[in-house]
Copies of this chain bind each other. A is one copy, B any other.
Amino acid sequence: MSILIPHPDFTAPRLAAAPEARFVPAPADGVLPEGFFATTNLPTYAKIDGRWRMPREPRMDAALVRDAEGALWAREGRRVRAGQLVAVGAAEDGSEGILVNVPGAGANGAGEFKFMSSEVSREKPIDYALMARILVDERERGGYPVWVAGPALVHSRARADMTWFVRNGFVGAFLAGNAVAVHDIEAAIFGTTLGMTGTGESTSGGHGLHMRAINRVRAAGSITAAVRQEIVTGGIMHALVEKDVPFVLCGSIRDDGPLPDVITDMVAAQDAMRAHTTRATMAVLVATALHAIATGNMLPAFVAESDTADDALPTLRELPTICVDSAEFVVSKLKDRGTHQAFGVVTNAQDFMHILRLYVERELAERGAGVLA
């Protein structure tokens, strides 16, 4: 069961020729010399008197200290006394006399111990400026950004921001489910979503309001008809109709209604989605595991600049894919289902939309482009 970790081959020329580790006295109690070697939790060797030696009590975030008896210790900085000899150096590959055995580094010793190497984490910064530049670039070059949204986008105030992106030409196609449109239209007609007000309060009689919204659209015949008849006078679906942006509403087993525009057959719905995913030059997936993974399944990881059927192979570039969810899990799942190119943003959909809009507005202002309210 035990997994043995072999020592490095110290007879290799590079290591045989390595210099001795260098030690410098600590300037004060609990203070290390500048340039001290910072330990890791991996097997570590310092070359002393021509021999590679391992420290006692190894641990990360410590220094290597040689005590009066010549013994080598990994020791926390606070425990080092003035004048004790502390190893210095930054290289972990032996070139300064200290070698760290990084797993998977291979014979060339190219590995390096690192923090923060997980792919998706709420602790990673979110580069809104970059995303804003990509979006504005896409608009400028006439790209076809496909947006895929879940209902959390509508429950919260992100609805206004999503509407703004539609109105201002950042949406090539909008893919969602029945619930997104239902909540959006409930908000347009009654000012609530699932009976909850914009400040999060439940309303009396609220649990039936989404059913009443659905019923009014069914009576009108379609969402477009409901917009034309001024039953629906604002919000995302209204903007999509007004701006003639194509949308696909795919049914699901948990739908109420559904709205007349919803494609209830999943094979037909995937066919309708494909018409957009094959044209996509960018994808923004917000707050939906189901639709994000569905879209990821259908989306190439790349954009071909010309028809792949041409005699000459087209220029290819990465298809920017942004996946926003409040849990790392959805992004990891999307990647585990093969959408490796997804760039994960772990945050609340409402906040994401608001800040992204802010950065896009700034980017537009810098480029001197106008904006609709």
Contact = CB atoms under 8 A, between A and B. Distances in A.
Interface string A7-38: 10000000000000000000110111010111
Given A5-B302, A31-B219, A77-B215, A277 B59 contact: yes
Interface residues of A, number: 145
Q: How many copies does the complex hold?
A: 4
A123 B56 CA distance: 39
A5 to B, nearest CB: 4
Given A4-B315, A58-B308, A211-B61, A206 B115 contact: yes
Interface stretch (A165-173, A225-233, A237-245, A350-358): A350-358
A2 interface: yes
B212 A38 contact: yes
Contacts of A120: 332
A235 B49 CA distance: 45
A68 to B, nearest CB: 14
A370 interface: no
B42 A302 contact: yes
A196 B116 contact: yes
17 contacts: A2-B318, A3-B318, A6-B316, A36-B212, A43-B302, A52-B313, A72-B309, A90-B205, A90-B208, A116-B336, A121-B333, A123-B336, A126-B156, A258-B267, A265-B265, A266-B266, A351-B354
